[in-house]
Amino acid sequence: MESILVLAHTATSNDSSAGNGATLTKASLEAVTAGQQLAAQLSATLTIAVLGANAAAEAGTLGATGARLLALSGEAFSEARYATDAAAAEALCRTAQASIVLAPFSSRFARIAAGVAHRLGGFVDTHITAFSGTEAIEATRWFYRQRVEAVVSRDARPWFLLLDAGTQKPYSLVQGSGTVEEIALEAPATRTTVAGLRAPSQGAQTIRPDAKMLFVAGAGWTKKQADGQIHSAEAGDLILGFLHATNASLGSSKSLTDQGSDGLPVLPFLSHMNQIGQTGATPRHARGLSTCCHGEEPHVVGWRFIGDRRAISLDPNCGWTRGKADVVYIADAFQVISKVNSLLDPAKK
Ligand SMILES: Cc1cc2nc3c(=O)[nH]c(=O)nc-3n(C[C@H](O)[C@H](O)[C@H](O)COP(=O)(O)OP(=O)(O)OC[C@H]3O[C@@H](n4cnc5c(N)ncnc54)[C@H](O)[C@@H]3O)c2cc1C
């Protein structure tokens, strides 16, 4: 019989996905949901292990799951670092003795999962989006920029499965606390000392995987407008104003991010990291709003997991209007976003 371990972690001080530096990340709570479902599906036992700052208290909040709860905390394990995280995850896995290990595909766990699986003589698969099967585990994942969907099963154990964020409903914490087994571990010798963190401030960080909405900027923002002029500074202010008011994540078309290298006007807060599409990202926000973007297939393919799709374009014949968006506003995005920003920020009315 399979036994399942959900490996979760608390947020580091650099992590924006949790409210403060020591609560369970949203992606970890999604892994808890997946663990519960898989355990029920396979009639398997469930253990949930938390590592990081405040791990014992956070594991205690999962009492209502009925799972065995493990925690490993301590100063050395509060910030992400390969040596300490890998040692902690290994200790938790050895204590749980699980055949299946589910973990969020966070940067913290993506870095250590292969190493920990190797130490345990196991196998790891990443980008898992769903599970099926009642006898054996069948894990679904995408390959080749989400073009090919595969169902994977393996005999190797322990089998580590890293779950893509946004694919499961996060576990809702229920009042009450559970009994937590605290695992003590002496921190391994490290060559890396975390001296501090230098990261873009919350306002400057425009890629927000946990945001409810994706806002996409297309090349039209830096094209000549009706008055024959380019208004890229105004475009930048409007886009940042919208992001500030809504906390949306910022995506871009390839044409817009490519412009810098072509010597054309650029929006300084955009990079190739923002690009959505065939050669960019495929995010999973509940809603998306595209602005000044033509909606060509290589771009729209990156929207396949976006729930509600809307677009603002001047072109009534653009790709969005040909069935790729749920709602298309044929309008000037400068005017629309300016009006929306003023409605969102009463001070600017
Ligand atoms: C192999 C390959 C891979 C590719 N991969 C990607 C990818 O990953 N992601 C990607 O995005 N593209 C990708 N592309 C490029 C893609 O085909 C398009 O060229 C690109 O998406 C076009 O970007 P755009 O719509 O922003 O620009 P444009 O095509 O220039 O469209 C600008 C739009 O803005 C509108 N507009 C202008 N001013 C306003 C205004 N004031 N208000 C409202 N609308 C306005 C115009 O009407 C126009 O529709 C790829 C292409 C190839 C060949």
CB 258 less than 6 A from any atom of ligand 1? no
Ranges in the chain, pLDDT < 70: 14-22, 199-203, 346-349
CB 238 less than 6 A from any atom of ligand 1? no
CB 119 less than 6 A from any atom of ligand 1? no
CB 337 less than 6 A from any atom of ligand 1? no
pLDDT of residue 199: 66
pLDDT of residue 20: 46
CB 299 less than 6 A from any atom of ligand 1? yes
pLDDT of residue 260: 73
pLDDT of residue 253: 97
CB 23 less than 6 A from any atom of ligand 1? no
Distance in Å, CA 302 to ligand 1 centroid: 13
Q: What b/e string do you get for 153-169 counting C-beta neighbours within 10 Å, with b at 16 or more?
A: eeeebbbbbbbbbbbbe
pLDDT of residue 347: 64
pLDDT of residue 51: 97
pLDDT of residue 144: 79
Distance in Å, CA 213 to ligand 1 centroid: 20
Q: How far apart are CA 78 and CA 21, in angstroms?
A: 9
CB 264 less than 6 A from any atom of ligand 1? no
Map tokens 């937590």 to a residue: 180
Distance in Å, CA 143 to ligand 1 centroid: 24
Which residue, judged by its Cα, is nearest atom 2 of ligand 1? 298
pLDDT of residue 32: 98
pLDDT of residue 349: 53
CB 220 less than 6 A from any atom of ligand 1? yes
